[in-house]
Amino acid sequence: MPGLSNILRKPKKTAKQEAGAPRSVSGKTYLKAMPLRNISDLEVVKNEVKSGNIVILRITQLANKSIDDVKRAVDELCDFVGSVDGDIARLGEERVVICPPSVKIWREKTPISSEPIPTAA
C-alpha cells in the first residue's frame, strides 16, 4: 500500500512556473495563503485577486507591529474589494479571505426571533 507521502507529493515546478509566469492564464482559480508583513504587501494581494485568485491573508505579523496599520490595510482591502465587486471576510482572529468577483463568500443568516430570550433567574 503506498504511503501518504507519495500520494500527497507536490509536483515539480517547471522552469516557466518558477520564473513567475501567471498561473491563471488557463482560467483556473488558485487559493493562495500569504502573510501580510507590511502595508506594501497589499499590492501583491490586489494583483492576485485581480488575476482571479482567492487569497487567505494572515495578518499576525503586521498586527504585532502596528494595529493601526492593520486597520488601514483592512480598510484599503475593503475599498478595493468593493471596487472590483469581490468579497472579503474574516477567518478567526488572524486571517482574512479575499475573493475575486467570480467567488462569493457564504454567510449564515441568523434568524431574528420575536420570542424573548430566556435568562437564568
Per residue in 39-96, pLDDT (tens digit) is 999 999 999 999 999 999 999 999 999 999 999 999 999 999 999 999 999 999 999 9
**pLDDT-based confidence at 109, cuts 50/70/90?**
confident
pLDDT higher than 50, residue 21 = no
Is residue 22, in this structure, part of any structural domain at all? no
pTM: 0.68
Domain that holds residue 69: 27-99
Is residue 82, in this structure, part of any structural domain at all? yes
pLDDT higher than 90, residue 30 = yes
Is residue 33, in this structure, part of any structural domain at all? yes
| Number of other residues whose CB lies within 10 A of the CB of residue 99 | 21
Is residue 7, in this structure, part of any structural domain at all? no
- pLDDT number for residue 58: 97
Is residue 119, in this structure, part of any structural domain at all? no
Which has more pLDDT, 81 or 13? Answer: 81
Give the total number of structural domains in the chain.
1
| Number of other residues whose CB lies within 10 A of the CB of residue 48 | 20
Residue 116 C-alpha cell reads as 424573548
pLDDT higher than 80, residue 108 = yes
Is residue 31, in this structure, part of any structural domain at all? yes
**E strands present in the chain:** 31-35, 54-58, 87-91, 95-99
- pLDDT number for residue 115: 67
pLDDT higher than 60, residue 3 = no
Is residue 86, in this structure, part of any structural domain at all? yes
Please give the mean pLDDT across all residues of the chain. 82
Is residue 44, in this structure, part of any structural domain at all? yes
CATH of the domain at 60: 3.30.110.150
